[in-house]
């Protein structure tokens, strides 16, 4: 799983009364807590040996100062006083791709150097360090009592702008202050961060370690993946952030993590600090149903189509294969996220559980006049608004992405021309304006992939054809509605080809749509333009419905969340994840994915040997086989092998990739990189019986770096404790 792009609640008073995995029942290890909430959690009873202020201390130095966010959307951590960074292999994947050339694929071979002088630039990478995170909800909501609608929005904006300006003026030089709304306005948090712009690759294992198991093993347990890479942050000699320069020096972090190679055992306490990307744990049942039945199934099929199409291009062009492999890996990962997500939401009955919560909520509201005044209509309003908005959900998820921004260059330009020239009062462009349009279209066409666009248009046309009878897409039905089966598919393919490889494959022809029109009538051309006009009309019809939903939903979701958390008596209420610093805790723990089966929480190199076929993606390196056969493990072995991956019950989601997982003493014991298939759908809920975090054991990270990669100089830079006496 590319946890590039889980979850929530916990409260001491309710821990003893857990009786279900309902979406709003308090799960023992549930919660991606904001840093200022850590002190309120029952961590001492769970196994934490250090003070909460050792984890997060806005007035001093703490472990959180070592945990950073990568511009790639992942988490990472400082692991030495010289700016050495540890993160996942898939988080540094783009850096390896950009540094590769035909004949030198660094994803395949890995990267190593004998010292800092050989480190290579991680193109496009930077890191963000959180100086502080503060709950400013009360300050933002000051003076909003009794306000609604535009007056409420205006007052919140006024408070937000004033506070952000005041805090920015007080911030450290080079720092950025921003205030973010969380959970539709239930929380407002202030974040002060600063950026380091010069990042370099230090060591990365080869593909058959860093991506061992590939897509077949993604989200699966057992797992045997060495998903790690070392980077380093550099700054100008005066310590200020700077773009790459040979004169830059290693960044000196306020805090770096200690590695513990003593090993873990079943049920050991562990915690995670990281930057989880996004959750929607407090959503109403109608929102979850929309995801389960419409959005997630579409995204699964859409991402599969993107990946298949790009793979075909790479099969015949090595340069393009190298350039496209990062996109393909991300599409494959996300496809599995959404495919597994809608399956797990259905199998776990998450919609039904939330509906049961809402039935209890309705009874709870009705039992008290004050609650009736505050929350009395929230469920009714949500139901009416959601059912109206979702009535054509399967059609609308397609319509909102048409033309597809990731693939449709030609149709995108044709659509834009039709949209702009059909605006009321649209005037004919001057010669200078037409020349500028032509230049912009030519620029857009420079890197287009005709075969890719052709496949994706065919995918959309098939998807339109497969819509339910009451959600048919009129522009497609006007063209193909009289056909069925293979005849319709052939007609769709021919139409797609006229778009991609017909006259509008010429930028000059598209520019001609801005006028004056001098072309003779052509049915193929009119079909394309008519389809574009039809899409435009359908989107225009959808826009008011979407606007109505957006205008009301924040207020309703805030009230809904307030009511639910008040009914449950929850405290602290963890905010939904939003790519900001978070904390979660749990234990090393296996699970039972299905009847009569239990998965233990550790894997070793022996299991890697069992999977080895010699064929990608299960092609274990020969040197690693030799090290296992000789039991040449250095200080990193346990018994007759080296532990590779382990499971824990921590609540994480996309964005937590690269997060350090630490023991009760605050020492790093692993590196989070995945979740299990049975735990997908966890943007909406957490199930303590199934949700598991998959991490690389820190001993495997160091073993591979030192014994396999011959990069002991990297290991020597770190502080290591535990291990054999």
Asked if the structure places residue 113 within a domain, the reply is yes
Output the pTM of the full model: 0.92
Are residues 134 and 37 in contact, defined by beta-carbon separation less than 8 angstroms?
A: no
Check whether residue 313 and residue 218 sit in a common domain.
no
At 264-319, the pLDDT tens digits run 999 999 999 999 999 999 999 999 999 999 999 999 999 999 999 999 999 999 99
| Residue predicted with more confidence, 179 or 520 | 179
Gyration radius of the chain's alpha carbons: 27
Mean pLDDT value of segment 19-27: 40
Check whether residue 536 and residue 605 sit in a common domain.
no
pLDDT of 2 over the 90 cut: no
| Residue predicted with more confidence, 516 or 161 | 161
The secondary element (H helix, E strand) that includes residue 599 is: strand 597-599
Asked if the structure places residue 319 within a domain, the reply is yes
Give the residue carrying structure tokens 């996309």. Answer: 654
According to the model, what pLDDT value does residue 519 have?
A: 62
Mean pLDDT value of segment 49-72: 97
According to the model, what pLDDT value does residue 725 have?
A: 53
Check whether residue 522 and residue 583 sit in a common domain.
no
Are residues 583 and 272 in contact, defined by beta-carbon separation less than 8 angstroms?
A: yes
Are residues 646 and 264 in contact, defined by beta-carbon separation less than 8 angstroms?
A: yes
Asked if the structure places residue 21 within a domain, the reply is yes
Asked if the structure places residue 561 within a domain, the reply is no
According to the model, what pLDDT value does residue 23 have?
A: 42
Q: What is the DSSP letter of 67?
A: E
At 606-662, the pLDDT tens digits run 999 999 999 999 999 999 999 999 999 999 999 999 999 999 999 999 999 999 999
Check whether residue 631 and residue 548 sit in a common domain.
no
**Separation of alpha carbons 552 and 153, rounded Å:** 12
Percentage of the chain exceeding pLDDT 70: 96
- Helices 485-501 + 409-421 axis angle, to 10: 80
pLDDT of 212 over the 60 cut: yes
Give Cα 90 to chain centroid, integer Å: 13
Asked if the structure places residue 679 within a domain, the reply is yes
Q: 146 pLDDT band (50/70/90 cuts)?
A: confident
Burial class (CB in 10 A: 0-12, 13-18, 19+), 666: buried
**Separation of alpha carbons 296 and 285, rounded Å:** 15
Asked if the structure places residue 141 within a domain, the reply is no
Query: Which of 553, 584, 602 is the last residue in one of the domains?
Result: 553
Say if strands 120-121 and 198-203 run parallel, antiparallel, or are unpaired. antiparallel
According to the model, what pLDDT value does residue 274 have?
A: 98
Average pLDDT over all residues of the chain: 93
Check whether residue 496 and residue 591 sit in a common domain.
no
Check whether residue 81 and residue 219 sit in a common domain.
yes
Q: Give the tokens for residue 307.
A: 């990946």
Domain that residue 332 falls in: 285-553
Return the CATH number at 50.
Answer: 2.40.10.120
| Residue predicted with more confidence, 25 or 684 | 684
pLDDT of 7 over the 50 cut: no
Give the residue carrying structure tokens 């330009």. Answer: 413
Check whether residue 608 and residue 661 sit in a common domain.
yes
Query: Which of 553, 568, 590 is the last residue in one of the domains?
Result: 553
pLDDT of 521 over the 60 cut: yes
pLDDT of 16 over the 60 cut: no
According to the model, what pLDDT value does residue 3 have?
A: 52
Mean pLDDT value of segment 524-530: 94
Query: Alpha carbon of 670 to those of 5, 109, 273, 439, 660: distances in Å?
Result: 20, 24, 12, 51, 6
At 224-261, the pLDDT tens digits run 999 999 999 999 999 999 999 999 999 999 999 999 99
Asked if the structure places residue 571 within a domain, the reply is no
Check whether residue 355 and residue 499 sit in a common domain.
yes
Are residues 669 and 661 in contact, defined by beta-carbon separation less than 8 angstroms?
A: yes
Check whether residue 345 and residue 479 sit in a common domain.
yes
At 368-398, the pLDDT tens digits run 999 999 999 999 999 999 999 999 999 999 9
According to the model, what pLDDT value does residue 518 have?
A: 63
Asked if the structure places residue 651 within a domain, the reply is yes
Contacts of 440 (CB under 8 A, 6+ apart): none
Check whether residue 542 and residue 598 sit in a common domain.
no
Are residues 642 and 700 in contact, defined by beta-carbon separation less than 8 angstroms?
A: yes
Check whether residue 239 and residue 350 sit in a common domain.
no
Check whether residue 433 and residue 467 sit in a common domain.
yes
Domain count, the chain: 2
Query: Alpha carbon of 326 to those of 91, 322, 687: distances in Å?
Result: 10, 8, 31
pLDDT of 127 over the 70 cut: yes
At 418-440, the pLDDT tens digits run 999 988 877 888 889 989 999 99
């Amino acid at each position: 799983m590319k946890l590039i792009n889980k979850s929530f609640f916990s409260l001491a008073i309710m821990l003893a009364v857990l009786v279900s995995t309902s979406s709003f029942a308090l799960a023992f290890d549930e919660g991606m807590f904001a840093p200022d909430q850590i002190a309120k959690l029952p961590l001492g009873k769970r196994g934490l040996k250090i003070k909460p202020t050792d984890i997060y201390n806005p007035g001093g130095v703490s472990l959180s100062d070592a945990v950073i966010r990568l511009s790639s959307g992942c988490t990472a951590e400082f692991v030495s006083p010289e700016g050495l960074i540890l993160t996942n292999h898939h988080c540094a994947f783009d850096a390896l791709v950009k540094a590769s050339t035909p004949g030198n694929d660094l994803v395949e071979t890995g990267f190593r150097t004998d010292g800092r002088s050989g480190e290579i630039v991680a193109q496009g990478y930077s890191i963000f360090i959180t100086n502080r995170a503060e709950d400013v909800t009360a300050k933002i909501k000051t003076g909003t009592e009794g306000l609604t609608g535009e007056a409420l929005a205006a007052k919140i904006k006024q408070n937000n702008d004033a506070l952000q300006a005041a805090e920015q003026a007080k911030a450290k030089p080079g720092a950025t202050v921003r205030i973010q709304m969380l959970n539709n306005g239930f929380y407002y948090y202030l974040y002060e961060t600063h950026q380091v712009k010069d990042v370099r690759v230090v060591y990365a294992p080869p593909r058959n370690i860093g991506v061992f198991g590939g897509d077949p093993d993604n989200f699966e347990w057992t797992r045997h993946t060495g998903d790690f890479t070392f980077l380093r942050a550099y700054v100008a000699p005066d310590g200020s952030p700077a773009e790459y320069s040979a004169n830059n020096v290693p960044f000196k972090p306020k805090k770096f993590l200690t590695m513990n190679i003593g090993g873990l055992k079943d049920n050991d306490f562990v915690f995670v600090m990281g930057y989880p990307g996004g959750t929607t744990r407090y959503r109403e049942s109608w929102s979850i149903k929309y995801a389960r039945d419409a959005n997630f199934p579409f995204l699964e099929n859409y991402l599969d189509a993107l990946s298949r199409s790009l793979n075909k291009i790479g099969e015949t062009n090595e340069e393009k294969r190298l350039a496209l492999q990062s996109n393909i890996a991300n599409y494959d990962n996300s496809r599995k996220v959404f495919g597994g997500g809608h399956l797990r939401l259905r199998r776990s009955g998450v919609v039904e559980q939330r509906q049961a919560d809402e039935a209890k909520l309705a009874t709870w509201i009705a039992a008290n006049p004050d609650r009736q005044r505050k929350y009395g209509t929230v469920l009714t309003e949500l139901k009416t608004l959601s059912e109206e908005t979702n009535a054509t959900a399967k059609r609308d998820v397609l319509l909102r992405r048409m033309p597809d921004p990731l693939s449709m260059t030609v149709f995108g330009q044709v659509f834009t021309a039709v949209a702009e020239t059909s605006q009321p009062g649209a005037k004919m462009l001057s010669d200078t304006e037409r020349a500028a349009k032509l230049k912009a279209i030519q620029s857009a066409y420079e890197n287009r992939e005709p075969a890719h666009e052709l496949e994706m248009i065919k995918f959309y046309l098939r998807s339109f054809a497969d819509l339910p009878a009451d959600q048919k897409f009129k522009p497609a039905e006007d063209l193909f509605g009289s056909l069925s089966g293979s005849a319709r598919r052939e007609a769709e393919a021919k139409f797609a080809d006229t778009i991609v490889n017909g006259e509008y494959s010429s930028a000059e022809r598209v520019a001609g749509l801005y006028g004056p029109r001098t072309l003779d009538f052509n049915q193929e051309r009119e079909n394309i333009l008519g389809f574009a006009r039809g899409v435009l009309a359908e989107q225009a019809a959808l826009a008011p419905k979407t606007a109505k939903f957006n205008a009301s939903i924040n207020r309703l979701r805030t009230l809904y969340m307030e009511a639910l958390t008040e009914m449950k008596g929850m405290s602290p209420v963890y905010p939904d994840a939003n790519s900001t610093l978070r904390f979660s805790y749990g234990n090393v723990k296996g699970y039972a994915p299905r009847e009569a089966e239990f998965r233990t929480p550790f894997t070793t190199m022996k299991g890697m040997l069992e999977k080895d076929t010699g064929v990608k993606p299960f092609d274990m390196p020969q040197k690693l086989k030799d090290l296992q056969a000789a039991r040449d493990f250095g200080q990193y072995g346990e018994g007759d092998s080296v532990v590779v991956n382990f499971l824990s019950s921590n609540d994480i989601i996309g964005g937590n990739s690269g997060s350090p997982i630490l023991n009760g003493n605050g020492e790093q014991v692993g590196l989070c990189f995945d979740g299990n298939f049975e735990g997908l759908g966890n943007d909406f809920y957490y199930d303590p019986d199934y949700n598991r975090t998959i991490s690389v054991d820190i001993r495997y990270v160091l073993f591979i770096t030192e014994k396999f990669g011959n990069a002991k100089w990297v290991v020597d830079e770190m502080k290591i404790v535990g291990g054999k006496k």
